[in-house]
Amino acid sequence: MEYSEKKVQIMEAAEQLFAEKSFDGTPVRDIADKAGVNLAMISYYFGSKEKLLEALFNYRAETGILKMESMLLDKSQTSLQKVNALIDFYIDKFQNQTCFHKIMSREQLHNQRNEIAVLIQQFKKRNQELVKQLILEGQKKGEFKKNIDIPLMMATLIGTVSHLVTTQHFYKEINNLQSLSDDEFKIHIKKKLSHHLKFLFKAILTHEA
């Protein structure tokens, strides 16, 4: 599948609406309106609403993995530096693609759309495999402890970032940060979160603490 301009328009409109109002809560008509295309184009291009969601997943997934791979292959850095880079990478990913990650989080909550579930499963497996290599490398070099439960560790990474990003309006309110602009707030959260997670990961992974 190649991504013509129209297709991308549609996928991006769908992404925003699915994030806001959920897949089932979004009429195809609204996607068409938002994308500024004819209603029938969506079936014409993607076949169905569900296939559109699949296309969106493939579209977004394509780029993600590559970035991560190149990052982890960098030989000039220690394993801990790479882990720290990984943390920042995840924070950026969630902050810059909030819509997509909301959709993905929601899809992980049920098994309704099997094609999507399979895509996510594959996606997660590949990610986890890369992280595993990184941890093993650190362990070989003696930087990291033995016996690290990677899925548990990833749950903390992804869970913390995801939860904070998706409930950031609440965080804003509770910490009286309503005066900050969206960008300022984003930077604020990024900094806090980065420091917090790097601290936790150092505790999880290294002998010192």
| Contact residues: DNA, CB under 7 A | 4, 6, 26-29, 37-44, 47-50
Question: Does 163 sit near a copy of itself (CB under 8 A)?
Answer: yes
Q: In angstroms, how far is CA 26 from the centroid of its own chain?
A: 21
CA–CA separation, 114 and 117 (whole Å): 5
Q: Which is nearer to DNA, 29 or 163 (CB)?
A: 29
DSSP 8-state secondary structure symbol assigned to residue 144: S
CA–CA separation, 200 and 187 (whole Å): 20
CB of 21 to DNA, least distance (A): 10
Residue among 48, 9, 45, 8 nearest 28 (CA):
48
Q: In angstroms, how far is CA 205 from the centroid of its own chain?
A: 23
Q: Which of these segments, 4-12, 50-58, 70-78, 147-155, binds a copy of itself (CB under 8 A)?
A: 147-155
Question: Does 146 sit near a copy of itself (CB under 8 A)?
Answer: no
Question: Does 122 sit near a copy of itself (CB under 8 A)?
Answer: no
- Residues ≥6 apart with Cβ < 8 Å to 84: 198, 201
CB of 77 to a copy of itself, least distance (A): 24
The residues binding a copy of itself (CB under 8 A) are: 19-25, 102, 105-106, 108-112, 121, 124-125, 128, 149, 151-152, 155-156, 158-164, 166-167, 170-171, 173-175, 192-193, 196, 199-200, 203-204, 209
